[in-house]
Structure 1
Amino acid sequence: MTTELFDRKEVYVGRDFGGVTCDVTPDLVATYIAGTGDDNPWYRGNSPLGGPIAPALILHSAVYHTLAWYLPNIYGNLHARQEWDMFAPVMFGERLTTRSVIIDRYLKRDREYVVNEVLVGNASGQIVSRSRTHQSFLLPEQAKEGFVVDRAREKDSSRSFKIGERGGDPIGSPMRTITEAMCMAFSGPARNYHNDRQKAVELGFPEIVVQGMLSVCLVAEMMTRRFGLGFLYGGKMDLRLVNVLWGNDVTGPKGLIVERRREGIRSRAEVEVWCDKADGTKTVVGSASAIEL
Structure 2
Amino acid sequence: MSQSTADAPWRDLTDPRRAATVEDLEAGLKEPVFENLEIPEQLGPVTITVDDHKIKRFSFTQDDYGPWYLQGCPNFGGARIGQPALLGNDLVQLFTTRYRASKTVGFHTEEQMWFDSPVKIGERVTLSGTYVEAYERRGQGYVVMEAQAVGEDGRSIVRHRGVEILRTVPGLIAGRGASETPERRVTGEVPADARPIEAVAADTCVGDVLAPLKKTFTAEQTAVFSRIGEFVRNTHNDLQIAREAKLPTLIVQGQQQYGAAAELMARVFGAAWFTQGWLKMKFIKPLQIFDPVEFSGVVTSVTKDPEGWRLIELEVWARRASDGKLTAVGWASCRVD
1:161/1:229 CA distance change after superposition, 3 Å: closer
What secondary structure, in the 3-state scheme, does the structure 2 residue paired with 1:193 have? coil
Specify the code of the residue in structure 2 equivalent to 1:115. Answer: V
1:118 aligns with 2:147: yes
Deviation at 1:71, TM superposition (A): 11
1:148 aligns with 2:172: yes
CA-to-aligned-CA distance 1:122-169 (integer Å, 9 cap, x gap) = 001111111111002568xxx8xx95257x989xxxxx9623448611
Aligned pair partner of 2:86 in 51, 58, 61: 58
Distance, in Å, in 2 between the alignment partners of 1:69 and 1:110 is: 24
Q: Which residue of 2 aligns with 1:211?
A: 253
1:25/1:149 CA distance change after superposition, 3 Å: same
1:201 aligns with 2:243: yes
Q: How does 1:277-288 map to 2 (within 5 A)?
A: 277-278=320-321, 279-288=323-332
Q: Which residue of 1 aligns with 2:188?
A: 163
The number of equivalent residue pairs is: 273
1:57/1:246 CA distance change after superposition, 3 Å: same
After TM superposition, the score normalised by the length of structure 1 is 0.84
Deviation at 1:68, TM superposition (A): 6.3
Are 1:79 and 1:135, in contact at CA under 8 Å, matched by a contact in 2? yes
Deviation at 1:282, TM superposition (A): 0.5
Distance, in Å, in 2 between the alignment partners of 1:271 and 1:284 is: 14
1:100/1:257 CA distance change after superposition, 3 Å: same
1:261 aligns with 2:303: yes
Q: Which residue of 1 aligns with 2:123?
A: 94
Q: Which residue of 2 aligns with 1:4?
A: none
1:147/1:289 CA distance change after superposition, 3 Å: closer
Specify the code of the residue in structure 1 equivalent to 2:37. Answer: V
Specify the code of the residue in structure 1 equivalent to 2:147. Answer: V
What secondary structure, in the 3-state scheme, does the structure 2 residue paired with 1:58 have? coil
Aligned pair partner of 1:192 in 214, 230, 234: 234
1:292/1:161 CA distance change after superposition, 3 Å: closer
What secondary structure, in the 3-state scheme, does the structure 1 residue paired with 2:225 have? helix
Mean Cα deviation higher: 245-254 or 195-204: 195-204
Specify the code of the residue in structure 1 equivalent to 2:234. Answer: N
1:273/1:173 CA distance change after superposition, 3 Å: same
Aligned pair partner of 2:62 in 27, 31, 36: 36
Distance, in Å, in 2 between the alignment partners of 1:164 and 1:147 is: 27
Gaps of 5+ in 2: 1-34, 178-184, 195-206
Deviation at 1:203, TM superposition (A): 3.0
1:270 aligns with 2:313: yes
Distance, in Å, in 2 between the alignment partners of 1:96 and 1:13 is: 25
Distance, in Å, in 2 between the alignment partners of 1:75 and 1:92 is: 31
Mean Cα deviation higher: 193-202 or 221-230: 193-202
1:290 aligns with 2:334: yes
Distance, in Å, in 1 between the alignment partners of 2:36 and 2:250 is: 30
Deviation at 1:183, TM superposition (A): 0.8
Specify the code of the residue in structure 1 equivalent to 2:93. Answer: Y
Are 2:314 and 2:331, in contact at CA under 8 Å, matched by a contact in 1? yes
Distance, in Å, in 2 between the alignment partners of 1:112 and 1:124 is: 37
1:25 aligns with 2:51: yes
Q: Which residue of 2 aligns with 1:157?
A: none
Are 2:94 and 2:128, in contact at CA under 8 Å, matched by a contact in 1? no
1:80/1:267 CA distance change after superposition, 3 Å: same
Distance, in Å, in 1 between the alignment partners of 2:72 and 2:43 is: 37
Q: Which residue of 2 aligns with 1:179?
A: 218
